[in-house]
């Protein structure tokens, strides 16, 4: 296992770009740990080495993912979540315990959070709809990454016109969250719901606009027709 991860590390280093690494670290308010490899290149490396593990059991591959996440560098998290996403047809209900531990121990910026949500958690909750009740619990967790994940994990479903009411429930719980990234997360969720259920999002925003932080509101109404968007912007400018 360590030999394979060492080979991946060596190839990542060979493809690193110092200028890109510096710009990526500046992009995040608190900085990130990264080798400096552009994401399309990382994904190619990921696919290349997945061929060496794809006949292993799901549990063995998840262990590879865990060890790569321990490396902390963003490139390893991209590979870990990519490998986990390739197993989505094999997901079982109990796999949520792996994913929750990854949020708890390894997610430390919005990029890791959103990659895990879009590639792993989204398909998981879409497949196992009976696990959706976990999300309101996440939305009240002290860890802001669980709270953001409660919203962002639903994007996969709402884009497929599913779990719309659950999306509004999460948005209501997070309505006045203290973390900017959580507010943006549920605003993003509402924006995606508005693509197919504009009237419902309009009604939600109208009902909650006095309490809704401006950043969440602006995300939520981003795809509204200009006239409707102007109605809220004028009141909240």
- Secondary structure percentages of the chain, helix, strand, coil, to 5: 70, 0, 30
**Distance separating alpha carbons of residues 80 and 190, to the nearest angstrom:** 28
Band of pLDDT at residue 29, cut at 50, 70 and 90:
low
Token pair of 22 as six digits: 């510096």
Band of pLDDT at residue 233, cut at 50, 70 and 90:
confident
Q: Output 70 or 1, whichever has higher pLDDT.
A: 70
Say if residue 75's pLDDT is above 60. Answer: yes
pLDDT of 28 reads: 64
Model confidence pLDDT, tens digit, residues 81-98: 999 999 999 999 999 999
Compute the Cα dihedral for 120, 126, 128, 132 and give only its sign. Answer: positive
**Distance separating alpha carbons of residues 168 and 164, to the nearest angstrom:** 7
E strands present in the chain = none
**Distance separating alpha carbons of residues 197 and 162, to the nearest angstrom:** 11
Q: How far is CA 226 from CA 185, 196, 214, 234, in A?
A: 22, 17, 17, 12
pLDDT of 230 reads: 86
Model confidence pLDDT, tens digit, residues 162-192: 999 999 999 999 999 999 999 999 999 999 9
Count CB-CB contacts under 10 A for residue 16.
Answer: 16
**Distance separating alpha carbons of residues 193 and 160, to the nearest angstrom:** 10
Say if residue 20's pLDDT is above 80. Answer: no
Say if residue 135's pLDDT is above 80. Answer: yes
Mean pLDDT of the 200-206 span:
96
- Whether residue 174 contacts residue 205, with contact meaning beta carbons closer than 8 Å, is answered with no
Say if residue 219's pLDDT is above 80. Answer: yes
Mean pLDDT of the 24-38 span:
75
Compute the Cα dihedral for 175, 181, 186, 188 and give only its sign. Answer: positive
Count CB-CB contacts under 10 A for residue 2.
Answer: 7
Model confidence pLDDT, tens digit, residues 38-64: 999 999 999 999 999 999 999 999 999
Band of pLDDT at residue 18, cut at 50, 70 and 90:
confident
Report the share of the chain in percent with pLDDT over 70. Answer: 95
pLDDT of 10 reads: 95
Average pLDDT along the chain: 93
């Amino acid at each position: 296992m360590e030999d394979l991860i060492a080979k991946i590390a060596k190839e990542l280093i060979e493809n690193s770009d110092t200028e890109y690494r510096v710009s990526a670290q500046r992009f995040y308010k608190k900085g990130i740990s990264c080798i400096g490899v552009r994401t399309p290149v990382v994904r190619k490396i990921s696919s290349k080495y997945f061929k060496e593990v794809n006949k292993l059991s799901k549990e063995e591959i998840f262990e590879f993912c865990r060890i790569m996440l321990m490396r902390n560098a963003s490139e390893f998290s991209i590979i870990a979540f990519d490998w986990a996403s390739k197993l989505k047809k094999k997901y079982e209900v109990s796999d949520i315990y792996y994913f929750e531990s990854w949020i708890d121990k390894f997610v430390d910026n919005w990029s890791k959070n959103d990659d895990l949500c879009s590639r792993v958690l989204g398909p998981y909750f879409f497949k196992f709809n009976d696990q959706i009740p976990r999300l309101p619990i996440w939305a009240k967790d002290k860890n802001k990454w669980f709270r953001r994940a409660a919203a962002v994990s639903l994007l996969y479903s709402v884009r497929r016109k599913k779990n719309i009411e659950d999306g509004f429930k999460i948005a209501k719980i997070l309505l006045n969250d203290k973390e900017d990234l959580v507010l943006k997360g549920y605003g993003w969720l509402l924006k995606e719901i508005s693509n197919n259920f504009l009237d419902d999002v309009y009604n939600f925003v109208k009902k909650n606009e006095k309490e809704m932080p401006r950043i969440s509101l602006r995300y939520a109404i981003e795809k509204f027709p200009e006239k409707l968007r102007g109605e809220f912007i004028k009141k909240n400018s």
